[in-house]
Structure 1
């Protein structure tokens, strides 16, 4: 299942790589696509549905990023 999010704090391709690696380290995340245009737009494919809070906990392994769901 795919969900759309906005990740605040993304500013460059290095940010994209770090955030993608961190999110995909979660066993229930299959694939993460993060875009710079529009900045921080994200599509996450999951094996099991994770809440925004679960995703934020995973992102908290890095400093400075917050995630919100786009409905």
Structure 2
């Protein structure tokens, strides 16, 4: 298992967290997603190496901006 941390900007509430969680959960290989609007952190656990571009695109699709922490 691999855990990768990201910083997400623009989230302000639980609904924001849910939107990011739903989009990132659909990325191939992702097994667990934890997100907090309070800290601006996204933690993604995957079966192996994670496609950063796919995670960043998923966060963008949810309406927010992310970068690798």
TM-score normalised per structure 1: 0.80
Q: Which runs of 5+ in 1 are unaligned?
A: none
Total equivalences in the alignment: 68
CA-to-aligned-CA distance 1:24-53 (integer Å, 9 cap, x gap) = 011211111011332x11211012322432
Moved over 3 A (4+): none
| RMSD over equivalenced CA pairs, Å | 1.5
What are structure 2's unaligned runs of at least 5 residues?
A: none
Matches of residues 1-71 of structure 1 in structure 2 within 5 Å? Answer: 1-38=2-39, 40-63=40-63, 65-70=64-69
TM normalised by structure 2 equals 0.81
